[in-house]
Amino acid sequence: MMQEDADTGAPEASKPFLDLIKDGEKALSTYQEKCDSIDAKYASLKTMAEALGDREFQIFWANLEVLKPSIYTRSPQPVVQPRHRDGQEVQRKASEMLERVLEMDIEADDLHDTLLMVRDDLATSARGVPWVLDNGECLHVDRRDFVHDPARKWKECGWVARRAYMTREAIADRFPDADRTKIKFEEVKKDDADDYKTSRKKASVWEIWHKGRQAVIWVTPDYPEVLEVSDPLVNVKGFFPCPKPAYGTLERGTLKPVPDFVYYRDQVDEINELTARISSLSESLRLKGFYASGTSEVGEAIEAAMKQTDNKAILVPVSSTAALGGGKLSDAIVWLPVDEVAQVITALVQLRKQLIEDVYEITGLSDIMRGATEASETATAQNLKAQYGSVRIRERQNEMVRVARDVIRLKAEIFAEKVPGAELAVMAGMSFPSQMQPVEGEKTVFIEQIDQLLKNERLRPFVLEVESDSTIAPNEEAEKQSRIEFITAMGAFIQQAGAMVAQQPETAPFAAELMKFTAGGFRAGRELGQAIDEFAELVKQKAAEATQNQGPTPQQQEMNQMLQERFAELQEFEKRLDKQARDQNVQLHDAKVTEIQERTNKTLAEIAKIQAEPVQVQ
């Protein structure tokens, strides 16, 4: 709705918010200029399609095509589980339902395609931005369409803004009170690309999320009033509808990204210059010779010999040997020094090769990632190369994992707060009874309980944990090895723990907790977390039933009898002391009282220790 000024009652002016946008754009103007040139270097159809253009070695494009799939390759999968292992059944069911809803939404929303564009921006421009709408849809935001408060760190940002291009019809539908005659509509085109533009004129509208005002403000350039000021439709953690962008290198003390390409652009320029020289010299690397103009017959004979393709035609006729300079062909023709040209080309190729290796050192792309391994290398040596390469890009990988996780968390908050629990259950393909129709004879989780938990925005983060699995293409051999290690470890543990619990059922709780601790160290254990928890609870229950049915052993009966006798003797001793003090009205000395108290405490400690010791069953 339109916001009015509190003092004058007039519509709120848009200038203060447009000034914020200008300040944000100015703070990143150098970054945007550098990124424009980088985009042209990476892929410019107009420049690369020119047949007469300078020859270039496309190492930048090649590096990015190797780097991008190493950073992010596959769609993230949501993982929702109770934050604590001893969570209630309501938390388990709520986690399962929310996880199913997120799985469905990620596929329907095509989140993978959005994250691919975020990844490309991260690899090319050192910043990728996703934006989650209030319906849970996730969008990729172009680097020029995203502006934020020029702060030192993300937590200090007071506002963020996203630019959207809207047609007249969209403006009329979204902002019916706006005067469309005063809004500027123009053709939208890619910078410096006059041939790539839309035929429909659109207005650029900025959506500003202002944390200080806890409001969303909509403005458009050259329009004097704000289009709308409204409360956020969803109260998400951090207020902003976008997570912290996926950042590469940042200029110290700022949120100004520094693209990786600027660190080795000098080497790339030298490589392209050497490539152009090699191309020029290669054009001149042709067999050329000179002969006296009066001996044209010699030139014709040499050209005929060079064009001759018949292997049987060995000799070329010449009318007079005098034309050969006294019978020597070398005296009649002077050849261009192609050997010197070839040597220069060889030197240039070697120099370019060294520069290419320098680029690989700067970027950290290992030999194994580029497929440049030696046949004589062992598998261990190749694995070490792969690990070295992954170390250099691990921070980029972690950034994509974090962004994917934060997007999934935003989606989870939106679904939990806005969508009724019954509708979420339908989306998840699950069925829960209602409290209006209670089920007797069993412990039941009602849909109202789940809905109440999900709608409680203060309690929800403390009981539910929303994560995403790895977004990096898994190494199949490593995954197989991990599963084998998990099965081996759990098999050995269950065999040993089973024998212990069979002899001493009271050790079942300890064995169950130890099993969960062991499984937690494996990825497969996390995937089977709920099943493992249920199995551990079953072990505890069965052990308790076995203990109750078995009853105390003769040894346990004898031990209990002895403890009862010693405790009775101690009580009798204390009674005698009290009676003596009352009958004789004697004040015991403080030291004597302390001694008696110490003896009493010591005896009680011995009893507690005996009770805690397990009884060996014969």
pLDDT digits (tens, 9 = 90+) for 156-173: 999 999 999 999 999 999
Mean pLDDT, range 460-477, rounded to an integer:
68
Per-residue pLDDT reduced to its tens digit, 70-98: 889 888 989 888 877 666 788 888 888 99
pLDDT at 360 over 90: no
Give the pLDDT score at 526.
52
CA torsion sign, 188 to 190 to 192 to 196?
Answer: negative
> Helices (DSSP H) in 364-475: which residue ranges?
379-418, 421-428, 447-455, 460-463
Q: Which of 18-32, 73-87, 202-216, 412-426 has the lowest mean pLDDT?
A: 73-87
User: Position 481: which residue type?
Assistant: Q
| DSSP result, 86-126 | T--HHHHHHHHHHHHHHHHHHHHHTHHHHHHHHHHHHHHHS
- Whole-number mean pLDDT of the chain? 77
> Helices (DSSP H) in 285-418: which residue ranges?
296-307, 329-332, 338-363, 379-418
Mean pLDDT, range 182-207, rounded to an integer:
77
pLDDT at 182 over 70: yes
Give the pLDDT score at 356.
85
Residues near 185 by Cβ (< 8 Å), separated by ≥ 6?
167, 168, 201, 202, 203
Give the pLDDT score at 395.
86
Instruction: Say what percent of the chain tops pLDDT 90.
Output: 28
Highest mean pLDDT among 62-66, 582-586, 592-596: 62-66
Give the pLDDT score at 208.
97
Give the pLDDT score at 616.
47
Mean pLDDT, range 173-182, rounded to an integer:
90
Give the pLDDT score at 466.
82
Give the pLDDT score at 618.
37
Highest mean pLDDT among 12-16, 55-59, 127-131: 127-131
Query: 219, 163 in Cβ contact below 8 A?
Result: no
Mean pLDDT, range 486-492, rounded to an integer:
75
Strand partners, 275: none
pLDDT at 476 over 70: no
Residues near 396 by Cβ (< 8 Å), separated by ≥ 6?
67, 71, 122, 123, 248
Mean pLDDT, range 244-265, rounded to an integer:
92
Confidence of residue 480 (pLDDT cuts 50, 70, 90): low
How many CB atoms are located within 10 Å of the residue 312 CB?
Answer: 4
Give the pLDDT score at 368.
47
Q: Which phi and psi angles does 616 have, rounded to 5°?
A: -75, 125
Confidence of residue 615 (pLDDT cuts 50, 70, 90): very low
Confidence of residue 108 (pLDDT cuts 50, 70, 90): very high
Query: 468, 103 in Cβ contact below 8 A?
Result: no
Highest mean pLDDT among 162-166, 595-599, 610-614: 162-166
Higher per-residue pLDDT: 102 or 313: 102
Mean pLDDT, range 256-270, rounded to an integer:
90
Alpha-carbon gap, residue 122 to 397, rounded angstroms: 10
Mean pLDDT, range 424-446, rounded to an integer:
77
Confidence of residue 462 (pLDDT cuts 50, 70, 90): confident
Helix or strand run (H / E) with residue 203:
strand 197-210
Mean pLDDT, range 451-479, rounded to an integer:
72
Q: Which phi and psi angles does 178 have, rounded to 5°?
A: -75, 145
pTM value is 0.71
Residues near 412 by Cβ (< 8 Å), separated by ≥ 6?
78, 80, 98, 102, 466
Which two three-digit tokens encode residue 309?
């393709």
Per-residue pLDDT reduced to its tens digit, 386-405: 555 566 688 888 899 999 99
Give the pLDDT score at 123.
92
Among 171, 173, 119, 118, smallest CA distance to 140 is for: 118
Query: 93, 432 in Cβ contact below 8 A?
Result: yes
Length of the chain: 618
Alpha-carbon gap, residue 230 to 1, rounded angstroms: 6
Among 21, 43, 72, 51, smallest CA distance to 396 is for: 72
Give the pLDDT score at 415.
92
Give the pLDDT score at 18.
95
Give the pLDDT score at 471.
62
Which two three-digit tokens encode residue 240?
């902003």
Mean pLDDT, range 98-103, rounded to an integer:
92
Give the pLDDT score at 497.
73
Mean pLDDT, range 441-451, rounded to an integer:
78
Which two three-digit tokens encode residue 35?
């990124």
Strand partners, 129: 141
**Distance of CA 55 to CAs 50, 52, 58, Å?**
10, 9, 9
Mean pLDDT, range 406-430, rounded to an integer:
92
Confidence of residue 427 (pLDDT cuts 50, 70, 90): very high
Higher per-residue pLDDT: 107 or 466: 107
- The helix/strand/coil state of 466 is strand
Give the pLDDT score at 234.
78
Strand partners, 146: 162
Among 105, 7, 64, 136, smallest CA distance to 418 is for: 136
Give the pLDDT score at 14.
92
